[in-house]
Amino acid sequence: MGAMPVTSIACVDAFTSERFRGNPAAVCLLDGDAATADLITDDWMQALAAEMNLSETAFAIPRSAGSGAGGFGLRWFTPTQEVLLCGHATLASAHILWESGALDPARPAHFQTRWKGELVAHRAGADIALDLPSAPSASVPEPAGLAAALGTDVVTVARNDLHHVVEVADERTVRELTPDFAALRDVEVEAVCITAESDDAAFDFVSRYFAPRHGIEEDPVTGSAHTSLGPWWAERLGRPDVVGYQASRRGGVVRVHAEPGAPRVTVSGEAVTVWRGTLAT
């Protein structure tokens, strides 16, 4: 096998201002040569994502080398498969591109994606704000075995093109859930986002996210989930700006702006770099 092109990689904790909190994402920045090298294949990206063993590894691919205009292709892989959309790794990618000087921090970062079109990130004070497609959810019957796999009764079940949204009785239920992940893999759901209204005045809602079919039992903080949770809670609370806390062990804060019926939402949060490196050649 030939020598690998020189490629930088970093780990960024997203939706947090503290290291070792939020959701860690690996961001692999492919240089102009690497982006076109025969060795940069889907299999290679999948193997690297498995090596990182984080919920997602993002691959940022310059669309016009040296342009500095913010044009990057972006793809996301879990340890086992490519995914349609990953919010926290998009936020992490924008953060590391600005921090490293690959992009001008005063300009938005534009990402072209395979399934979700163009995504744009810009700075909003301490936050990075992502312009993402909204994922409104429609009520559906409870899938067979879902409540048993989760280990709790459910209030409402809805579905969008990314996951099922399951509302439960209260915040305590969300926090204390201990799903049977083996059973959950057999339920007809791609992923499950559990949510309830928050007991803490600092947040409007809490959530957790389980995706064992994607090789992720529990995702620490899920930006893409908030493209559905934002509209869900904005409608219930009667205002477009809502704040969620994803109550995983690591935890993270996600702010969402969701206008009624709008095709796009803004998902915002902070990010912090944990380490940077270079892949061996």
* Nearest by Cα to 131 from 91, 89, 191: 91
Distance between CA atoms of residues 264 and 258, nearest Å: 7
- What is the DSSP-derived secondary structure letter of residue 64? S
Measured over the CA atoms of residue 53, residue 252, residue 146 and residue 171, the dihedral's sign is positive
Distance between CA atoms of residues 195 and 214, nearest Å: 20
* Cα 256–chain centre separation: 13
Look up tokens 């899938």; give the residue: 143
Residue 88: Cβ within 10 Å count: 36
Look up tokens 């993002």; give the residue: 58
Q: How is 103-145 classified by DSSP, letter by letter?
A: S-TTS-EEEEETTTEEEEEEEETTEEEEEEE----EE-PPPTT
Q: Specify the 3-state DSSP secondary structure of 264.
A: strand
CB-based contacts of 89, cutoff 8 Å, min separation 6: 14, 25, 26, 27, 56, 57, 58, 76
* Nearest by Cα to 99 from 162, 170, 14: 14
* Cα 262–chain centre separation: 20
The residue from 18, 51, 56, 142 that is catalytic is: 56
Q: Is 82 a catalytic residue?
A: no
Residue 185: Cβ within 10 Å count: 13
Catalytic residue ranges? 56
